[in-house]
Amino acid sequence: MLGDVTLIRSIAILCALGSAPAALAGPVHQPAGANLTYGNVTHGQRVLSATSNPAAAAANVAGGAKSATGTVLSIGAGIEYGNLDEIFETIDELSAAFAPSDSGDGDSGGTGPDGDDPVPVNPKEPIDIGNIVDTLFPDFEKVVDSIATEVATRAAILALIAAEGHAKAYASADAPFVIGNEVLGGAWTFGVNWSGTAKAVGLAQPIAFNAEQALAELTAIYDASLPADGLPRLYDLSGDVNVFIDQATGNYGINFANDSSFLTKAAQTLEVSLGYSWLAQKTAKGSLFLGVEGNFYDLALSRVSVRFGDITDSEDVFDAIRDSDFEYDQGIGIDLGVLWAGPGYQVGATLNNLNEPRFEYPEIDLSNYSNSDIISFLQRDRTYTMERQLRLEGSYFTENRNWTFNIGLDANEIKDPVGDEFQWLTVSAGYATESWWVPGLRFGYRENLAGTRLRYFGVGATVFRILNIDLASTLDRVTINDEDLPRGLAASIGFDISF
**Do 356 and 398 share a domain, yes or no?**
yes
What's the CA gap between 169 and 200, in Å, rounded? 9
Total residue length of the chain: 499
| Shared-domain flag, residues 194 and 243 | no
In this structure, what DSSP letter does residue 494 have? E
Domain range for 170: 2-84+165-203+263-498
What gap in Å lies between CA 116 and CA 40, rounded to an integer?
61
Nearest to 154 by CA among 256, 83, 86: 256
Distance (Å) of CA 170 to CA 6, 13, 386: 16, 11, 17
Domain count, the chain: 2
Which secondary structure element, helix H or strand E, spans residue 223, and what is its range?
helix 211-223
Output helix, strand, coil percentages for the chain, rounded to the nearest 5. Answer: 20, 45, 35
| Residue 210 Cα distances to 98, 145, 147, 205, 371, angstroms | 18, 11, 11, 16, 18
Based on the domain organization, do 442 and 460 belong to the same domain? yes
End-to-end CA distance of the chain: give it in Å, rounded: 40
- How do the pLDDT tens digits run along the chain, 499 residues long? 333 334 434 443 344 334 333 333 445 567 777 888 998 888 766 665 667 899 988 887 776 555 556 677 888 888 898 887 777 778 777 777 787 776 544 333 333 334 343 444 444 566 766 665 655 566 778 788 888 888 888 888 888 887 777 788 888 888 877 775 566 678 888 888 888 888 888 888 888 888 888 888 878 777 766 666 666 677 788 878 888 777 666 677 788 888 988 888 889 899 999 999 999 999 999 999 999 999 999 999 998 888 888 877 766 666 666 667 789 999 999 999 999 999 889 999 999 999 999 999 999 889 889 888 999 999 999 999 999 999 999 999 887 778 999 999 999 999 988 888 999 999 999 998 877 888 889 999 999 999 889 999 999 999 988 889 999 999 899 887 778 889 999 999 988 776 6
Specify the DSSP class assigned to residue 89. Answer: H
Exposure b/e, 256-291, CB count within 10 A at least 16 = b: bbbbbbbbbbbbbbbbebebbbbbeeeeeebbbbbb
317: domain CATH number is 2.40.160
Are 110 and 122 found together in one domain?
yes
b/e code 234-249 from CB counts within 10 Å (16+ = b): bbbbbbbbbbbbbeee
Q: Contact at 8 Å (CB) between 196 and 326?
A: no
284 and 324, same domain (yes or no) = yes
Domain final residue pick, 227, 256, 285: 256
At a CB cut-off of 8 Å and minimum separation 6, what does 312 contact? 95, 124
3-state secondary structure of 143: helix
Q: 248 and 138: one domain?
A: yes
List the one residue out of 79, 81, 78, 70 whose CA is nearest residue 32. Answer: 78
Identify whether residues 283 and 375 lie together within a single domain.
yes
Q: Are residues 398 and 461 in the same domain?
A: yes
Distance CA 232, CA 214 (A): 19
Do 244 and 274 fall within a single domain? no
- Strands 261-282 and 241-246 turn out to be unpaired
Q: Which of 221, 256, 291 is a domain's end point?
A: 256
Task: For residues 481 and 405, state if they share a domain.
Answer: yes
- Which of 225, 256, 287 is where one domain is finished? 256
Tell me: do 362 and 389 sit in the same domain.
Answer: yes
Asked if 271 and 337 sit in the same domain, the reply is yes
